[in-house]
Structure 1
Amino acid sequence: MNILIAGGGIGGLTAALALHARGHEVTVLEAVREPKPLGVGINLLPHAVGVLDELGLLPALRGMAVETSALVFANRHGQAIYRDPRGLEGGYSHPQFSIHRGELQMRLWAEASARLTVISGQRVVGVRDGNIALIETTGGPREQAADLIVGADGIHSALRRRLAPDEGAPCWRGVMMWRGTSWAPPFLDGRTMVQAGHSQAKFVVYPIGAPRADGLQLINWIADRRVREPTPGLTAPDRADWSRAGRIEDLLPTFGRWRFDWLDVPGLITRAEQMLEWPMVDRDPLPRWRLGPTTLLGDAAHPMVPIGSNGATQAVMDAQALADALSHHDDLDTALAAYEDERRPLCARIVAMNRQEGLDAILDRVEALAPDGFARLADVIDPAEVAAEINAYKAAAGHRTRMP
């Protein structure tokens, strides 16, 4: 098939590589004229790493990421609530990787550029007659026909608007995120991801590179803080303000005393090399992703609150599912229906779970039961109950220890 993918992010590029590997002729159009390694850290869960391994990318990932050993849940005093082994240490067939988002995108971009057609500076703004993409370029508008058009163009997707023209702005519940990177001494074993605090104020931290010669390690961190109470119709800050530079003075009143035995949170914040501010947003699940020979993928299909490391991971899983569906069904409409039937209910479930704090709900429970901390966790909550809740979320979100 001749396939056009709108969007050269992680999901779109992975889909392009997966579809090309199945013999399709693929073109990727990316709106940005000069893609650069922007952003901060993300986590790739083992099932997504398995997909990238099938595309021959595992050696590259090992060379540019930290292999996550565990996810630790902690209270705002730095006391561990639960340690969840991850990747190979958790019995999975593949590692979990903590990695710089921009560096991963650039690696995928290079791989795709070497194998298929990737064009920057061209934005898909619509579709006419079912299979003709309307494209904006610096030289003016143009059109391009394809057997299949895939919208992988993010939370503000033009192709999504064809399905939900009156959807409006993304949903916001009053939480802002500050994402930063800092050089600091390794914490714990140098490979652990930690989520500390609760839904009103949470600090997520993990390394995204090996220690350099001076012993310092590049640490990715995310500070979440509720700035507005969730109310119906609450509007997020204007899109033009997304990813603007954050200010240290907005964080220290909340996190300035979060000094743990194993991590100095205010010290990490004040040493930030970069710090960006984002609203924590998602969108309501769509009743369908396809319209004629078009479909959606990644954040265009299912933008979700960033809990549980699901954003990039679910986009990668979409890519594999779409490639599989096209391989298993000769009829395009049947293939797109099969892809959507596999992916849409799962992703809608994750959106709903993350709106209820997802994995992080246990942090709120411990905060409510022991706001001043605890001497022994078992005096506050049954550790087996914590484990069961976390494992239930993981199962519902598609975690699996072995590739199919």
Structure 2
Amino acid sequence: MIAVIADDFTGAAELAGIGLRYHLKVELGAQVNKDTDADLFVVATDTRSMAEAEAVREIEKHTRALLALKPEMIFKKTDSVLRGHVLAELKAQLSLTGFDKAVLVSANPALGRTIKDGRYYLHGKPVHESSFSHDPDFAITSSVIEDMLRCNGYPVHVKKVAATLPAAGIIVGEATQTADLQAWAERVDNKTLIAGAAGFFTAMLDKLLAGTKTEGANGIQFERLPLSLFVCGTTFANSRNAIKTIKAAGGPVCYMPDETIRSVHTGTYSYVKWANEVVALVKKHGKAIVAIHEDSTRDMALQQGQLKAKMAGLVHEVLQRSMVQELIVEGGATAWALISQSGLTRFFPVEEMAPGVVRMRTNDPGLFITVKPGSYQWPEGLWNF
């Protein structure tokens, strides 16, 4: 068995979807399933949204549980641009595994995310000059790897793929092309903690499962999706602008009401009117989009966690009041909030609609969920309203 620990739900789903390319039996869970018969088991956490100490405790718990299953490999999925408590979590895992070193390759050249000469670039520009500089939880203010990892003096070795590697410590691998990921995969052994983004995970599966890969995503025809609810929890401009365009054209968009945003005490009653509006759109159009309008929060000192919890409360009410069979969610923290409120704990990937966009059967009979990281692109055709 191959095991993965991810620091957010969409990252977990992304790697679960990659497993489908290799014809693996894949299971994703919010907890480690000691009785799983999966070839690839992915445990999703929400440590990126936690305080560092809590995140470390969560990672330690899941690492111990996975080690008990004696997997062939444990892969630590990190954010490709190193948001979250990456360094603290790796240090905790090194201590538990007894390994001397970790190799972290977060670059993903296929998506324009590269590391060269100790700096991170997004499509050739320093990453701190991108929209990641406005991330509400981990704003990126420097493209220097040590700064992005918040090393604070802790030694991290940033190395080119052909460089001599230290015998111990945390090594960040530079990569400017996909071949570099494959070269890093060849350099690690079973006494190395392996971590990084989807590209490096793919390279590791190529190494372990040579010759079994099916090229390309195996997406479905979007016009045949059942009654669907689109949930947008991202701050990325592409999706927000697409939703504005759909709304202006009379499409089924329902923004979070200002009174709900401003409400301090939220309960079921806070969502009933909004939920009824959403349900009416689903009945009329077969689908609806819920989102938070940027103008509603621009001048308010709101915690993102509060808004995600409110969005999750709405989704839970809509599921109780309608025959929605398909949740389509953008943003890892948003996805985690709504699955937590809706009692969803086990997920079985059935289709990789595009890189990072994965459709899964849930433990709720008849309900599917499709998720993607906020900074990735939706596949062509999904937003045809």
**TM-score normalised to the size of structure 2?**
0.30
TM-score by length of 1: 0.29
Higher percent of residues as strand: 1
